[in-house]
Structure 1
Amino acid sequence: MIVPDFLSVPERPARPRQYGITHVIDTGVTPAGAGDVLQAAGDSVDIWKTGWGTAYIDRGLEQKLALLRDAGVASCLGGTMLEIAWCQGVAEACLDWAAAVGFTHVEVSRGTVPMSQDDKRALIRRAAGRFVVLAEVGTKDPADTPVPAAWRAEALGDLGAGAALVVAEGRQSGTVGIYDDAGSPRAGVVEELVDAVGTDRIVFEAPRAAQQAWFIRRFGPHVNLGNVGLGEVLSVETLRLGLRADTADLHTVVGPVT
């Protein structure tokens, strides 16, 4: 392959990245489909999350995890499945299984079942000994209006319990948590989280192109973005590099045509 190098674009850190993370959501793609994504865009993927409870019924899961391991991409068990396991009193069995099949990361959340912050942090501590933990802040209830100070306190507490990263809830729809029902970012909540822990410790769920562009324009090309669709990985990378109209003005240097 002849790789072009004639444009001036922001330099992206090599994997494993500590910032500029692209976190994707797998809603049930086949191993062949996963292989296609990794072949075309694997260098741009950092964390691959199995959405919802798909990992429990996906018979191609172990094959996909092997592909991710070979590609150097972190694999993350989605938080909904662990929440349900916790609610049924089998969280330890879920974590044992996740370790056995080869997950490197787990998401700990409390957006689906009733769970106190104390119980969430206890679950983070249990998981942190074996996995890299992503702690999600926020609920999936569209009627829940976020209180910035409460999100700040939860994020700090989760990191203190052993989480490596905070995930700011936005869902696959991009209409809850850090977004209003029209999909516009709630700037006050975002700024409170950033002020509390810094951009390097937060993954902002941003499934929509306009949301991805907003975060890149606000915090730069190395902001951490999550819940990116598997078909949108290269699209997000073009936004980071200023190769798409939404962010081209951030990096374009206008000169004479030669």
Structure 2
Amino acid sequence: MLDHLSTRRIDWQKPRKEGITYIVDKFQGFDSANFKIISPLIDIAKIYGPLPLLISNDQLMDRINFYHEHDILVSVGSTLTEYALLEKSFDKYVEDASKLGFDIIEVGENNIELSLEKKKQIAAKLKSKDLVALWKVGKKDPRRQLSFDQTITKINEAIEVGSEKILLEGNLGYAVGIYDEKGNIKWNIVGAVTSKISPNKIIFETPLEIQQAAMIAEFGQRVNLGETNLENVISIESQRKGFLSPSSYGISSMKKIAKGSPATKFIYYIIRTRNSMEQSELINITNLPRRTVQTGLEELKDQGLIIEKTNLDDIRKKIYHIVKDEWI
């Protein structure tokens, strides 16, 4: 039905490098016949948390083989990897993962800190067993979140040790990383991160359906989504192909319309037409008081519409850039 629309995907055949859908398998029951229908829409399946330790190797291999039969890669989560590192059993862990048929090993620093040298050793060990290292950046505990600079440093380290994709921690979707306490996306942080790292290098963990819809509305079909549930796969793919509009999920005009006072809206208009500006330039062009301009800039940053960078020629000065709403 409408075959000419059903393949309307830039990268619709697997293996995909962009537009990845990465599900979590908590050993929920599903019908094999129905799964076969949606399997082309799934790229990677993660065996949830400690499950590999709680079932027999034969049961685990059956699950992995099932996914492989449907052309889906299988990963182990970062929690188990950290456990193996803490228990000084990493080599055995890698050996077992390889024998069982896993394709990808997530590596994170939720409860541990890894030096760059240690990360290189981990990457080399995984590569020696033909396992892909997928580095996860972020903390699960809302009380121990990384700063922006720490996040960028860890992303760059992951890239340096050869990770093709970076997984941004989303945990349950609340008060972690790019999400606030209500599960809303902090667009100022997303904009700041994607101004440093191309979005196609990132897999955004999006546990909540509204987060998945918002990311697709913002970045388009090529955005990579992780920590998704099986029941969300159809809606994710429908949005990727444009069958469901963002308004279906209550999403509209992502980061396009400034809110606030007339002065704030005017400042946004000026920056948007120039793409980037210093504060002093804004004061001269708008003829607004310095405090009014400063207040407007803070409001726009809070709305995720602009990001602040240091002027490389004069570190005392700040430059304000528009957060682009197209794929960067």
TM-score normalised by the chain length of structure 1:
0.86
Q: Could you tell me which runs of 5 or more consecutive residues in structure 1 were left unpaired when the two chains were aligned.
A: 251-258
Kindly indicate whether the alpha-carbon contact (under 8 Å) linking 1:80 and 1:109 is maintained by their aligned counterparts in 2: yes
Kindly indicate whether the alpha-carbon contact (under 8 Å) linking 1:134 and 1:165 is maintained by their aligned counterparts in 2: yes
Kindly indicate whether the alpha-carbon contact (under 8 Å) linking 1:173 and 1:207 is maintained by their aligned counterparts in 2: yes
Alignment match, 1:127? 126
Residue 61 of structure 1 and its aligned partner are, at CA, apart by 1.6
Question: How many residue pairs align between the two structures?
Answer: 245
Alignment match, 2:184? 184
Secondary structure of residue in 2 paired with 1:181: coil
Secondary structure of residue in 2 paired with 1:69: helix
Alignment match, 2:136? 136
Q: 1:159 to 1:38 in 2, by over 3 A?
A: farther
Kindly provide the CA deviation profile for residues 216-250 of structure 1, in whole angstroms up to 9, marking residues without a partner as x: 11111110000010111112111212222426799
Deviates further, 14-23 or 168-177: 168-177
| Residues in 1 aligned to 2:247 and 2:3: alpha-carbon distance in whole angstroms | 19
Q: 1:190 to 1:232 in 2, by over 3 A?
A: same
Alignment match, 1:24? 23
**Quick one: higher RCO (CA 8 Å, sep 6+), 1 or 2?**
1
2:48 to 47, 51, 55: 51
| Residues in 2 aligned to 1:108 and 1:201: alpha-carbon distance in whole angstroms | 16
Residue 72 of structure 1 and its aligned partner are, at CA, apart by 1.1
Kindly indicate whether the alpha-carbon contact (under 8 Å) linking 1:213 and 1:247 is maintained by their aligned counterparts in 2: no
Q: Which has the larger radius of gyration?
A: 2
| Residues in 2 aligned to 1:9 and 1:15: alpha-carbon distance in whole angstroms | 12
| Residues in 1 aligned to 2:123 and 2:4: alpha-carbon distance in whole angstroms | 46
Alignment match, 1:99? 98
| Residues in 2 aligned to 1:42 and 1:174: alpha-carbon distance in whole angstroms | 28
Q: 1:35 to 1:114 in 2, by over 3 A?
A: same
Alignment match, 1:212? 212
| Residues in 2 aligned to 1:151 and 1:36: alpha-carbon distance in whole angstroms | 42
Kindly indicate whether the alpha-carbon contact (under 8 Å) linking 1:168 and 1:204 is maintained by their aligned counterparts in 2: yes
Alignment match, 2:233? 233
Kindly indicate whether the alpha-carbon contact (under 8 Å) linking 1:109 and 1:137 is maintained by their aligned counterparts in 2: yes
Q: 1:8 to 1:70 in 2, by over 3 A?
A: closer
Alignment match, 1:88? 87
Kindly indicate whether the alpha-carbon contact (under 8 Å) linking 1:128 and 1:163 is maintained by their aligned counterparts in 2: no
Kindly indicate whether the alpha-carbon contact (under 8 Å) linking 2:73 and 2:103 is maintained by their aligned counterparts in 1: yes
- Which residue identity is paired with 1:87? L
Identity across the alignment (%): 24
TM-score normalised by the chain length of structure 2:
0.69
- Tell me how large the CA RMSD over aligned residues is: 2.3
Kindly indicate whether the alpha-carbon contact (under 8 Å) linking 1:124 and 1:162 is maintained by their aligned counterparts in 2: yes
Q: 1:49 to 1:163 in 2, by over 3 A?
A: same
Deviates further, 128-137 or 101-110: 128-137
Q: 1:101 to 1:192 in 2, by over 3 A?
A: same
Deviates further, 35-44 or 178-187: 35-44
Runs of 4+ residues deviating >4 angstroms: 6-9, 247-250
Kindly provide the CA deviation profile for residues 13-50 of structure 1, in whole angstroms up to 9, marking residues without a partner as x: 211001000000111235xx373563131010001111
Residue 185 of structure 1 and its aligned partner are, at CA, apart by 1.4
Q: 1:46 to 1:8 in 2, by over 3 A?
A: closer
Residue 187 of structure 1 and its aligned partner are, at CA, apart by 2.1
Secondary structure of residue in 1 paired with 2:105: strand
Alignment match, 1:76? 75
Q: Could you tell me which runs of 5 or more consecutive residues in structure 2 were left unpaired when the two chains were aligned.
A: 253-328
Residue 108 of structure 1 and its aligned partner are, at CA, apart by 0.5
